[in-house]
Amino acid sequence: MKKVTIVGLSLLLLVACGKQSSSNQSGVQEGGTPPALTGTYASIDANIFQPLCYRCHTGTNPAGGDDFSNYPSLLTSYDIVSGNPEQSQLYIDVKNGVMPKGGPALSAVQVQAIYDWIKNGLPQH
């Protein structure tokens, strides 16, 4: 009886541990960590926007009218010029430490990822 119980519990544990987690819209594994920071919207959203910007820039009345809740909203609400970071208010604000407001300035790596994303035409994935 002990062998059956141990085998049964072992199988149950294997099945539970082998369950794959599902990804949300930005590519973050539920209960997991964000993907590596790259110059794509999915990566920037998971690594920068969600943890640092969503508290102010989502909901029914996002700060400054800049809605970061999804890709189309961000592109239509924040002044971002595809291919030209220097003319994009998002890049200017993070580069100059204006955003995120009330928080620490973004790291050089985070600012560079936003620069690359804009410079490369705002790839979503």
15 neighbors 45 (Cβ within 8 angstroms): no
pTM of structure: 0.73
Please report, for the chain, the start and end positions of each structural domain, with discontinuous segments joined by +: 2-119
Q: What are the tens digits of pLDDT across the range 82-99?
A: 999 999 999 999 999 999
Residue 6 above 50 pLDDT? no
117 neighbors 125 (Cβ within 8 angstroms): no
